[in-house]
Chain A
Amino acid sequence: MGNSFRALFKKDCRMLVSGKFFLMAIGFLALYTAYVDLGYIRFMQMPPYNVYLYDPAGTQTERSPLVQTVSSMEAMDAALLSDANGVGLDASTGEVRVVLYEGAEHVDRHRADYALSLLELSASPAPEVLGTNTPEQKARKEITCEMLFFELTAVGFLGIAAVLFKEKGIGVIRVHAILPLRKDLFILSKLTVFLLSDLVFAILLTLLNVGSAEGAAVLPVVLLQTAILSLMMALVGLLCALLLKDLRQFTLAYLVIAIFAATPVFLSANTSVKFDWINWHPFYHVYMGLKNAYFGTAISPVYYAGAAGAIVLLFLAVQLAFRREIGKEG
């Protein structure tokens, strides 16, 4: 049994190499890393509101160094026009007047009061810091988690399906029906190949983008989550390959998964927009598992039990579909 598994495993690896599966993974790894370092980290910055003060008489003596002075009302208008989130303070009439571009109601109130507070010195205590991550660390972990999820569910999934459909097309399943092998080995060797390649991808992506020390600390839990997600996606890919007629039909199913299933998950998990029904979304829990692994938050045992149950169920479904397919061919 060991020998036949090795033979199948070798054959699957060769097929992935010839299908340029690994090449694509390396390409995407380079693309993701470049995106994080050259784009995302720089893009994800939001400095405090700029405050512009027009004070020709110099009445505001206690102002904070964060306040920028302008020489005329025209200069202030120009500054506000180019920086619509900024706040203008006009002290030319004696009384201070706040000028700002309208946005959301709550935010506007805060902007105005914040700008005014900068005119007086105050020794308010610095906020207590409860977490351990800096903004950059958080951004790196968040985007790495997103990209790993995207790679496993979307890009890798498409690769898996392409390889499997190719096998189906050239009649490998038909050959398996008459081979003197245990039928489960076909599924197991596929799962092992995809699992190993996903794990290597996760290790490289995490170490390159989160940083070696930080990345190594979270790696064990991340790898466990990656394994769960990878097994699920490989099984779903296998199921699609066995049930659907060709790659074109699959692309259709894939589009639906990618757009309608992934968008609400990303919105709910990464922003303060929360949907009431999101707990019913299976992808949400898997994504949160991965995210919690990156941020070192405890993961509930119920989730692990659910994930294990889902993998077993999917495996049984794939086994059933595979036997049916073999029966059809035989």
Chain B
Amino acid sequence: MKGLKYQLKSVLRDKFCLMTFLLPILAAVALNFMGSIDMSSLGELHFGVLENGLSPQTVTWLERYGPVTAYETQEELTAAINEPSTNVIGVQADGDSLRTAISGDELDIFQQAAATLPALYERRETAEQVEVQMLERPDILESLQGIFIPAVLIVAMFMGCTFNAMNIISEKEDGVAFVNEILPMTPSQYTFQKVVVGFLFGSLSSFVTACICFQMSGLHFETMLVLIVLSAFVAAMIGLFIGKLSEGLMTGVVYIKIVMLLFLAVPLVCALIGVSGPLAVICNIVPSQPAFEGIMALSAGNTKTALKDIGILAVHCIAWFALYVLLATRREKRSI
């Protein structure tokens, strides 16, 4: 217990560790403030017209499909159409019909929309009489914000990894690692102390982040807590590995970056592309994937998937711990 006290003391003195603790919380607060940004406009059609170039009825009709911006001169309109970051479709009147203009570098979906817009305009009256049946999407993400929140939470959970790795590396650099070797402390005690420190701070950081991001009901909160605790433990174990493997601060930072990138990229890409089948099972090798899936399932109210993910995370905990113990005993044997 006394060793643990010293560990906590050394972490609290370390500004870097404290920063990694606060970063996800800050990001969560920023996300809450940024909630007003409308991400749904990303897939929308945008139209550019000349001022007084179209009748008000036509503009109203266009606004059914997406925002319409009026430009004063033809040059401004052309510049807006050619602007690479947007997919503005230029619309001009052509007698009773419409004429569209695109830049030619748009994705197929926008090019096709521009090509069919005049036909849509011609049959605008008949289209309104057709019955449209809307089905509720089974697992649609509300908006991109729905992806950002679990991403921030994952960063928070895996902060324990950064904590541990940085802590161990700085001990190596300052020479404390050598002092530790002659202290009356067994390797298992050392491991325990390090894991507890990373685990505690990782859990705390993600707990606060989760409280800011989600307002959950009782059962969901408990499940979320289990998810947080398990992933924080895995992260702490991985941090231990990084700390042991890296020789200096620079290599440590590179390792942490690679791990963080992998942890964020795998679940995000899986969620965006919608991976299924054997590939989805393979993705579970990265521990952030079940954590991400679990949080997404919980926010959609799907407790069954969340429980399955908790199971996968538990397997991760056991596997990483066993791997560490195996490597440690082997190293001990070699040193004897």
Q: Give the tally of cross-chain contacts (CB within 8 A).
A: 192
- Is A117 in contact with B23, judged by CB distance below 8 angstroms? no
- Is B37 in contact with A138, judged by CB distance below 8 angstroms? no
A249 within 8 A of B: yes
- Is A135 in contact with B108, judged by CB distance below 8 angstroms? yes
In the bound complex, residues from chain A placing their C-beta under 8 Å from that of B64 are: 106, 109-110
Knowing A84-B140, A124-B116 touch, does A45 contact B15 (C-beta < 8 A)? no
Selected contact of A104 from candidates B19, B43, B109, B249, CB within 8 Å? B43
Selected contact of A80 from candidates B103, B108, B135, B253, CB within 8 Å? B135
Knowing A112-B130, A114-B120, A271-B42 touch, does A135 contact B19 (C-beta < 8 A)? no
CB distance from B300 to the nearest CB of A (A): 15
- Is A122 in contact with B136, judged by CB distance below 8 angstroms? no
In the bound complex, residues from chain B placing their C-beta under 8 Å from that of A108 are: 134
- Is B45 in contact with A130, judged by CB distance below 8 angstroms? no
- Is B85 in contact with A133, judged by CB distance below 8 angstroms? no
A133-158 interface with B by 8 A CB criterion = 133-135, 137-138, 141-142, 158
Q: A133 CA to B103 CA in the complex, in Å?
A: 8
- Is A255 in contact with B23, judged by CB distance below 8 angstroms? yes
In the bound complex, residues from chain A placing their C-beta under 8 Å from that of B82 are: 130-131, 297
Residue of B nearest to A95 (CB): B131
CB distance from B147 to the nearest CB of A (A): 14
B85-124 interface with A by 8 A CB criterion = 85-87, 89-90, 94, 97, 99-109, 111-120, 122-123
Knowing A101-B137, A130-B90, A259-B23 touch, does A273 contact B104 (C-beta < 8 A)? no
B55 within 8 A of A: no
A12-52 interface with B by 8 A CB criterion = 44-49
- Is A127 in contact with B130, judged by CB distance below 8 angstroms? no
In the bound complex, residues from chain B placing their C-beta under 8 Å from that of A126 are: 115
- Is B123 in contact with A117, judged by CB distance below 8 angstroms? yes
Selected contact of B104 from candidates A46, A106, A120, A134, CB within 8 Å? A134
B5-47 interface with A by 8 A CB criterion = 15-16, 19, 23, 27, 30, 37-46
Selected contact of A135 from candidates B107, B120, B137, CB within 8 Å? B107
Selected contact of A114 from candidates B108, B113, B140, B170, CB within 8 Å? B113
A100 within 8 A of B: yes
- Is A128 in contact with B99, judged by CB distance below 8 angstroms? yes
A248 within 8 A of B: yes
Residue of A nearest to B30 (CB): A260
A103 within 8 A of B: yes
Q: A129 CA to B104 CA in the complex, in Å?
A: 5
- Is A44 in contact with B107, judged by CB distance below 8 angstroms? yes
- Is A273 in contact with B41, judged by CB distance below 8 angstroms? yes
- Is A252 in contact with B15, judged by CB distance below 8 angstroms? yes
Residue of B nearest to A136 (CB): B105
- Is A124 in contact with B118, judged by CB distance below 8 angstroms? yes
- Is B102 in contact with A117, judged by CB distance below 8 angstroms? no
Residue of B nearest to A249 (CB): B15
Knowing A46-B107, A112-B130 touch, does A272 contact B87 (C-beta < 8 A)? yes
Q: A127 CA to B197 CA in the complex, in Å?
A: 62
- Is B66 in contact with A130, judged by CB distance below 8 angstroms? no
- Is A272 in contact with B107, judged by CB distance below 8 angstroms? no
A98 within 8 A of B: yes
In the bound complex, residues from chain A placing their C-beta under 8 Å from that of B118 are: 122, 124-125
Residue of B nearest to A158 (CB): B253
A4 within 8 A of B: no
- Is B66 in contact with A106, judged by CB distance below 8 angstroms? yes
B133 within 8 A of A: yes
- Is A132 in contact with B85, judged by CB distance below 8 angstroms? no
CB distance from B133 to the nearest CB of A (A): 5
- Is B44 in contact with A98, judged by CB distance below 8 angstroms? no
Q: A273 CA to B143 CA in the complex, in Å?
A: 13
Query: What are some 6 contacts across the A-B interface (CB < 8 A)?
Result: A128-B90, A131-B102, A131-B105, A248-B170, A272-B46, A273-B42
Task: Kindly list 15 other residue pairs between chains A and B, CB separation below 8 angstroms, not including A128-B101, A252-B15.
Answer: A47-B109, A100-B133, A113-B65, A113-B120, A113-B127, A114-B120, A125-B99, A127-B115, A128-B100, A131-B104, A251-B249, A259-B27, A269-B85, A271-B42, A272-B85
Ranked 5 nearest A-B pairs via Cβ? A131-B103, A138-B105, A124-B118, A48-B112, A133-B105
